[in-house]
A and B are shown apart, each in its own frame.
Chain A
Amino acid sequence: MNFTSGQVLIKICDEKNIAISEAMILRETEYLDSNRYEAWGKMEHSWSIMKDSAKRALKGDIVSMGGLIGGEAAKINRRRLAGYTTVCGTIMSKAIAYAMGVLEVNGSMGLIVAAPTAGSSGVLPGAFLAIQEEMGYPDEVIIRALFNAGAVGYLIAYNATVAGAEGGCQAEVGSASAMAASAVTELMGGTPRQCLYAASGAIANLLGLICDPIGGLVEAPCQQRNAMGVSNALISAEIALSSIQNIVPFDETVAVMYNVGRSMPHELRETALGGLASAPSACSRCRNADK
């Protein structure tokens, strides 16, 4: 059993009366010959790495290799714990702190799960750890949802790209955001259709987002883009779960994202020649970081 488009995925889910996560598990076991038990175990391992990487930064003692980030997750967490009213509410505040924390761990040569890339590795752990803590879901529910996220990421990688060098940040954080949006939608009881509405909404919101890493490093603005990616995922899930539909379906949105990426000048696709990377303050900070 295989699928290469959102349309076919939905058809399979309808026919078999299964969730997207289950369709992805079936693709893995039936089409790619994996063992269900082993695949589940691997995902369990990925989730444990995600959780560790999200919590690791809360100590606030991390300094990245390039010296551009470090300590941000702890600051957000401390402010909330000190009793200040959060602007975004607890769940969003936690989600952005965790997402930013994973980027600190990544930037300091810590262990992360590229999901789909290292530069966007904060989005899924941020969304799921915040949701788990605030809503009390057991690990099994999150692990299952990660297969849903994998299905969306696979469809984007197959039909477009998840590489910043090819499609800009919309292809990295945008894809991570779409994956999280769909997975959160399933976890909260949404239908497969609602999942893909959430995913396409998330991509649509981030269309055109450039990849402009300061000094060419996976640090800034990547870290805050991950906070934005996780917020956008939760926003898109909330919209989709409210039975709000999008005019442009998932497959077309993915194609649009790919075309927008291809039409971006190369300065804005991970080369560190444009965007924030070319701003005067960014250039001077990097010279310092080089030393």
Chain B
Amino acid sequence: MYAAKEISVFDIIGPNMIGPSSSHTAGALRIARLARNMVKKSIEQVKFILYGSFARTYQGHGTDRALIAGMLGFDTEDYRIKESFVYARAAGLHYIFEIDSKRQDVYPNTVDILITDVDGEETTVTGISIGGGRAVIKKINGVDIDLTGDYYTLVIRHKDLPGVVAGVTNILSIFNINIAFMKLYRENKGTIAYSIIETDQPINADVIDKIEELNSVFNAFLIDKL
């Protein structure tokens, strides 16, 4: 479960959203928006592979338009969602949709997002929509993670070596940032790891520069609270 977050009145009277489905439209948009935040450079092409209920009913729910809208950074309230394909073309974003209705071992509303940036670098993200417009990123570049966008989030990709986490938390304490949750995920022992740090306060972009100066850190991203 992802019940860490307290229910606010605006989770009940809300989200304010473009219909028709909180899980298939608003939730899909949020997955794509989270994924977009994990790529620093401008995005050239994106491929979506839809599974489960996403694969069966995406057209009637506007799931495809919502995913593109999320990739363009639109909010769930944005009237442009319905015409997002037009905005994607204007922005030079190439997109492909694939349907995989055979695979059974996935959460009902799952999408794989394969992003290629202007330099040809690829990022692969798997997200699920868990209802009520909430989204969870379950995988990044093959590493299992859990990321919801319920908090201000810092994602750090680094070598799986001793001392990296200490270096990161040291920087956060210099910037007076209070960590709400911190999780560490890795591909294999001693290879690539992801540290995901969630905070209650917004994180200053200067923090990213400092963290990226650390040895063993490949890159770091800020993901805004959705």
Question: What is A's interface to B at a CB cutoff of 8 Å?
Answer: 24, 27-28, 31-32, 34, 39, 42-43, 45-46, 49, 64-66, 105-119, 121, 124, 146-147, 149-151, 153-154, 157-158, 162-163, 165, 179, 215-219, 272, 289-290
Contacts and interface: CB of A to CB of B under 8 A. Distances in A.
Contacts of B59: 65, 290
Interface stretch (B21-29, B98-106, B165-173, B182-190): B21-29
A45 B16 contact: yes
B147 to A, nearest CB: 21
Contacts of B15: 113-114
A284 B174 CA distance: 64
Interface stretch (B2-10, B120-128, B137-145, B204-212): B2-10
A65 B60 contact: yes
A204 B17 CA distance: 29
Interface in B8-50: 8-22, 25-26
A216 B57 contact: yes
A195 B8 CA distance: 20
Contact of B16 (A64, A111, A151, A163): A111
Interface of B: 6-22, 25-26, 53, 56-57, 59-62, 65, 77, 79, 81-82, 108, 131-133
30 contacts: A27-B9, A28-B8, A31-B6, A65-B62, A66-B60, A106-B19, A109-B18, A109-B25, A109-B62, A110-B18, A111-B79, A112-B16, A113-B13, A113-B16, A113-B17, A114-B15, A114-B17, A115-B13, A116-B13, A116-B132, A118-B19, A124-B13, A153-B12, A153-B13, A154-B12, A163-B131, A215-B57, A217-B20, A217-B57, A218-B19
B9 A28 contact: yes
Contacts of B22: 114, 117-118
B9 A24 contact: yes
Contacts of B14: 46, 113-115
B7 A39 contact: no
Contact of A118 (B20, B82, B108): B20
Contacts of A24: 9
Contacts of A272: 57
Contact of B12 (A39, A116, A118): A116
Contacts of A106: 19-20
Given A32-B8, A114-B132, A289 B17 contact: no
B20 A46 contact: no
Given A32-B6, A106-B19, 6 more contacts: A111-B18, A113-B16, A113-B17, A151-B9, A157-B11, A157-B12
A149 B7 contact: no
4 A-B pairs with least C-beta separation? A106-B19, A150-B9, A153-B12, A109-B82
B13 A218 contact: no
B136 to A, nearest CB: 15
B18 A150 contact: no
A85 B4 CA distance: 52
B26 to A, nearest CB: 7
A290 to B, nearest CB: 8
Nearest to A289: B60
Contacts of B7: 154, 157-158
Residue with the highest number of chain B CB atoms closer than 10 Å, among A105, A114, A165: A114
Contact of B10 (A42, A162, A289): A42
B57 A146 contact: no
A111 B62 contact: no
Contact of A218 (B9, B21, B56, B132): B21
A41 to B, nearest CB: 11
Contacts of B77: 49, 111
B45 to A, nearest CB: 25
Given A215-B60, A216-B53, A217-B57, A112 B8 contact: no
A151 B8 CA distance: 9
B20 A65 contact: yes
Contacts of A66: 60
A117 B59 CA distance: 20
